[in-house]
Structure 1
Amino acid sequence: MRRLFLTALTAALTVSAAGAQGVPAPRPIPPGEPPATVTATRNEPTPLEFTADKLSRLKVPAGFELKVMATGLGNARSLLVMSDGGIYLTRMKQSDLWYLKDVNGDGQIEALERKRVAQNLGTAHAMAVKDGKMYVAGEKNIWVMDMAKDGTMSVPRVFATGFPDAGQHGARGMHWGPDGYLYAAFGSPNNDAPTPNPEDATLLRISPDGKSREVYSRGLRHTIGFGWHPVTGVLYGWDQGSDWHGDNIPPEEMNVLERGKNYGWPFCYGDKQPDPYVNVSGIPGQITKAEYCAGTVGSVLNNTAHAAAIDMTFYTASQFPAEYKNSAFVAFRGSWNRSEPSGYYIGHVAFDANNQPTGVTPFVSGFVYQDGDVWKQFGRVAGVAQYTDGSLLFTDDQSGVLYRVLYTGGQ
């Protein structure tokens, strides 16, 4: 009898020791949620080539004038303006980098004033310049090149690599931060499901030598346009919400991006609102979606769903009226999955006297319109940048147009 007791005790201790050594515990069962039904629409406005007669369709605020600076640029995406008036342009589909400069000062950039300075940069998008070197971010790599005075580049070399697969979000955002580190945004590879790669749907902070990096902010589906406010130094970013969740959710959102914070994607949107159309099973731990969202950071400003914010720049010049200084301009590329299209404009983000964002309104609009029962568009705005004279530049990556907005209404 005693022998049977010792045998049972030994078996029990063996099982207990095995559990202590890491036998996997059962995965928590997620809490249930009520059913949610979504009505979604695929509505891609008919694309049209830009022609000069369409310029009259575009609207700018009173006192401003819109001009075409260049055409025939192909898939014109991001812009970077140098102090001497040189303009660098990435073309994502062509994976190359161009240098444009209005040498004769006539307000036009003709064919002889353009040159390709780098190529074979896979899905080249964002650019950043530091200490005479150009950095270009693509899907899996960030390249670095030495810059010459005439705008040409050395042979590209890899600065950092091994970034996540892009999936449906290949456009990268990138800027050197005031702390001397390189910040680069990498979107989610899918619409609304968490992934095992910790660098998906994040803003990364990369060391100046490119050899190490950390996740600075996470839970960002696709934050391409971001930057530091010129007065407060606060880092703002515009995030694109998930698709196929209806006409009005989730909104496009402007966030204050902080180190170590979670901004909720894919389970939450806007001001910590649970997304009813995302499966709760992906949430870590046995908590509800509402409990998870309560631990995330909410947006500071929202805009119409699916408008697709793709770039942002702060305005620091004096060519525009004083109320525009230290405000922001955002390129909303435009929707393809909303019954009434959203986006297709350059938006203006106003800031109050305390340098807090108060709202976003169209600044350059008219690219999309309804012709009978058919929606049409002749421009997908992409890059936006401040020019050397204080005017505003932006690109259309569909027809390859570079636009320029000037204030002519008097101070």
Structure 2
Amino acid sequence: MTHRPPTPQFHGLRTGTAGLLLAAFAAAASAQLPPGDGPVQVRAGVVEPTPVPFNDRLLNQLRVPAGFSISVFAKDLKNVRWLAVAPNGDVYASRREQGDVLLLRDTNGDGQADEQKVVLQNAKYAHGLALRDGKLYLVTDKKLLVADVQPDGTLSPAKTLLDDLPDAGQHPNRTLAFGPDGWLYVSVGSTCNNCREPNPESATLLRMRPDGSAREVYASGLRNTIGFGWHPASGQLYGFDHGSDYQGDDEPPEELNAIHANKHYGWPFCWGERKVTTTQFNEPPHTTKADFCPTTEAPVLHYTAHAAPLGLVFYTGEQFPREFRGDAFVAFRGSWNRSQPSGYSVVRVRFDASGKPQATEDFATGWLMQQLPPGLNAPGAAPAPAEQAKARRPAQFGRLAGLAQARDGSLLLAEDQNGVIYRIRYSGR
């Protein structure tokens, strides 16, 4: 949901200026439908909360559970997206628009980065990061790169392991992680909102050896599972998938899936509890949606539609209370196509003792505001009436992205609109 898809034909669209612009593209988009498909009536909203520049006063807007605190680890980082923490506590952060990787270091232990340097450059669409055996792995839209971590935290010149990942299209933000089996897993999002992909590696989770060899499709039908990881007790792989756009305010939900080898998770033909999708595309190969959907994997939990899950991390530290160990934290980037905005928060997913997910609950909120607080204006100059109209709209100062557990067990959260990395810790007070 980071990059907007082509817009289908709408009826009953509830929008402001953005909605009028979207409607203007509707006819062109419907003209590009595959043979046999036609326009579908959908009620959807387009409400983009007004972006607000970050300042330290806005920390007072944020809410975390009793005993926790949230502070700024680093700021003014521009388009900071994904995080990886080295055993010595060094923090690596990718910046997609800058095409580089930063090294951030807290040398005096005060909870704020006081050293910052670029350690990798010229990597267009730099995104997913993983550390393993003294090496940093980086995935871009098309490439898998690896570099040795030097004793001072800098990197050797990066080596290209792969340069032929599927075309990115709508979802260029690849992520990667090492599984308990020692293999490297790479998430590849769909090229579109809803379509039959010509490349069988699109909308999948790939698996390969650390050198990029023996590449295979591990699971398919995953529209855009940016955040994924393995439960520390059960070893089960879980991932949060983005539901498609333009099917309404509340459909389809975002899905937490238990991901298994050689399974299909429904997209683009079905969603949720194996419900058939009725938007624009043809039937599955050699069958129908009605027959195919019952054979797909249903999610284990749902979350509010269009909230846009990104970073996911299982908590294994000791800085938080013991009850948090084995639970997952998920960063929701926030909606742009829902009448009542969703997301803009960090959510805790509770797991039981056997490692099965039970429920979700808010953990860190406040980036989304019902309207601009007094004295805060949106970026750029505009006539007074326009500013007054913006002040009556929802506002936000954080599009959340990557999550990582710091060496001390606190939680790091990247936000790429204002370039802030937050730190959440437990003080017990």
Query: In the alignment, what sits opposite 1:404?
Result: 423
Query: In the alignment, what sits opposite 2:172?
Result: 170
Query: In the alignment, what sits opposite 2:103?
Result: 99
How has the CA–CA distance of structure 1 residues 106 and 276 changed in structure 2, closer, same or farther, with 3 Å as cutoff? same
Unmatched segments (≥5 aa) in structure 1? 1-31
Matched, 1:87 2:91: yes
Q: Deviations over 1:16-67 (max 9, x none)?
A: xxxxxxxxxxxxxxxx999952111221111111111111111101111111
Q: Pick the structure with greater CA Rg.
A: 1
* Secondary structure of the structure 2 residue equivalent to 1:56: helix
Query: In the alignment, what sits opposite 2:63?
Result: 59
| Candidates 398, 415, 421, aligned match of 1:379 | 398
The whole-number CA distance in structure 1 between the counterparts of 2:137 and 2:245 is 31
Structure 1 length-normalised TM: 0.89
| Candidates 243, 249, 252, aligned match of 2:251 | 249
Matched, 1:50 2:69: no
Query: In the alignment, what sits opposite 1:196?
Result: 198
8 Å CA contact retained: 2:40, 2:280: no
How has the CA–CA distance of structure 1 residues 398 and 35 changed in structure 2, closer, same or farther, with 3 Å as cutoff? closer
Which amino acid in the other structure matches residue 39 of structure 1?
Answer: R
| Candidates 50, 71, 77, aligned match of 1:73 | 77
8 Å CA contact retained: 2:344, 2:399: yes
The number of equivalent residue pairs is 376
Unmatched segments (≥5 aa) in structure 2? 1-35, 372-390
Q: Deviations over 1:275-313 (max 9, x none)?
A: 22243x2421242x2221101000001100011001100
| Candidates 392, 395, 409, aligned match of 2:414 | 395
Which amino acid in the other structure matches residue 137 of structure 1?
Answer: V
The whole-number CA distance in structure 2 between the counterparts of 1:170 and 1:391 is 29
The whole-number CA distance in structure 2 between the counterparts of 1:257 and 1:212 is 20
* Secondary structure of the structure 1 residue equivalent to 2:59: helix
Query: Which 4+ runs in 1 deviate beyond 4 A?
Result: 32-36
Query: In the alignment, what sits opposite 1:8?
Result: none
The whole-number CA distance in structure 2 between the counterparts of 1:219 and 1:402 is 32
Which amino acid in the other structure matches residue 357 of structure 2?
Answer: P
Q: RMSD over aligned Cα, in angstroms?
A: 1.7
| Candidates 262, 265, 276, aligned match of 1:263 | 265
The whole-number CA distance in structure 2 between the counterparts of 1:395 and 1:310 is 10
Which amino acid in the other structure matches residue 370 of structure 1?
Answer: Q
The whole-number CA distance in structure 2 between the counterparts of 1:392 and 1:135 is 21
Structure 2 length-normalised TM: 0.85
The whole-number CA distance in structure 1 between the counterparts of 2:109 and 2:262 is 47
The whole-number CA distance in structure 1 between the counterparts of 2:187 and 2:50 is 30
Query: In the alignment, what sits opposite 2:155?
Result: 153
8 Å CA contact retained: 1:267, 1:278: no
Q: Deviations over 1:102-149 (max 9, x none)?
A: 012222113xx0010001112011111222111100000000111101
The whole-number CA distance in structure 2 between the counterparts of 1:109 and 1:207 is 34
How has the CA–CA distance of structure 1 residues 375 and 357 changed in structure 2, closer, same or farther, with 3 Å as cutoff? same
* Secondary structure of the structure 1 residue equivalent to 2:290: helix
